[in-house]
Amino acid sequence: MQPLLGGHAGVSSTHTDTTTAASLSVFVDTRLNPETKSLSASRRDTHARKVYLVTKHGVLFFAEYLGEQGQPYVSPFIGKVKKRISADPTLGLQSPSSLGLADFIRRATEAALGKKSSAIVENRVLGVQTVGFTGAVRLGAELLRHWYNGHAAWHGPIYLSSPCDESLAGIFRAAGMPDVRRYRYWDAGRRGVCVDKLLEDLERAPERSIVVLSASAHYPTGADLSREHWALITQLMMRRQLFPFMLLPVQGLCCGELERDAWPLQYCQSLGMELLCAQSFSHCFGLYGEHVGHLLCVLKQSSVLLALRSQAEKLIDTLWAQPPVGGARMVATVLSNPAHLAEWQEGVRHMAARCMLVRELLRAKLRLLGTPGCWDHLTQQTGLYCCTGLNVEQVEYLSKRKHIYLLPNGCLNVSAVNSRNLDYITESVNEALSLPLS
């Protein structure tokens, strides 16, 4: 009997260990995202003069246009159109295909390439409505991995600007493309785009690499390439057989005009370049939470359009099946109606003008305070984003001592600056640059 008792005791011990293990979550060893720690610190800050220039209550709003009151802005005009659409009972009966609303796709394509685009006329453009901007990037990455340069699975490399939206690298890696590299874009010393270094890096890139380029409103610096720069870059890319993946996240909010913001895209298309472009209409239309994205594929010949479309549909079935309808219908309604389009564009011009005015006021206030350094770069940038040139220590000083929150690289959302916090921000920046940091 003793062996049986001993055996029973052994089983009991194993059973206890198994029970203990079963009581633990399978995610027990999950580590806290370091970015969440920094966001938690800003949430705990209860100072009366706290200023969020990139986050609000721990939520990133870096790409959102904020009104004078510091909240995401939705124009009264867009509100009226939204009410009119919601009151139409016939619209709810329409169900889009997996590629999205046809009218939205047509209007989004025309907004990017222009109605007279040769690619549109020759039927060698594929447009796909996506779940937001990141959805467009992900779908584009999936198409490239599976079908770029042959049927064999392709893994890169992908070239991103330094700095850039850090989520981009994660999107490409999640799509099975781990070879993510950087090309130099921002020169912190000169506080501008370092085109010479950018060209050096692309010259060394392996042939058939994917190069992710911002068509306008470069995130997070706000410093865009000039037309002369684009001429140099496209010449190099065509010679080296590099493939452009363009980003157009806030079309209209950069220069205040759809066509000007999309000029690099139209220029590349006019040269006969094949390309992808990820678009978003959520922010320029104030459709926060609607996830209105679009992926544009410009092809060299129409013969591959049907095949690419079929593969896009197959991928979409595994990603989101069908895109949301409401925001896309709003955009299509406005862009297809000349009167609506004119009124919406006037609102966009006002938002872009306010962002430029804020830049001018920041520069003027810093000069008036005698803040060390030259601040002309603030007005040489455009759109929502701005790279101040502050270093990590100065940014940390502003958050810990003055309760002002920027990105670690000194970039901020210009529209978060308003008449209520402008003086406090500039005085604090002056202090950060004038006093020795401990």
Does residue 183 sit in helix, strand or coil?
A: strand
For position 60, what pLDDT does the model report? 47
As given in the structure block, the two tokens for residue 82 are: 């939204």
Hey, what CATH topology would domain 34-76+341-434 get? Aspartate Aminotransferase, domain 1 (3.90.1150)
For position 84, what pLDDT does the model report? 86
For position 83, what pLDDT does the model report? 86
For position 31, what pLDDT does the model report? 82
Where does the pLDDT of residue 348 fall: very low under 50, low under 70, confident under 90, or very high at 90 and above? very high
For position 267, what pLDDT does the model report? 97
CA distance 341 to 77: 11
* φ, ψ at 182 (rounded to 5°): -125, 145
If you classify domain 94-336 with CATH, what class do you get?
alpha beta
As given in the structure block, the two tokens for residue 420 are: 């209520």
Average pLDDT over residues 290-318: 95
Which residues face 193 on adjacent strands? 186
Sequence ranges of the chain with CATH classification 3.90.1150.10? 34-76+341-434
Where does the pLDDT of residue 415 fall: very low under 50, low under 70, confident under 90, or very high at 90 and above? very high
Q: Which residue has the tokens 């896009």?
A: 312
Instruction: Give the model confidence (pLDDT) of 171-228 as tens digits.
Output: 999 999 999 999 999 998 889 999 999 999 999 999 999 999 999 989 999 999 999 9
For position 74, what pLDDT does the model report? 82
Q: Percentage of the chain with pLDDT > 90?
A: 65
CA distance 78 to 284: 11
For position 97, what pLDDT does the model report? 87
CB 381 within 8 A of CB 359: yes
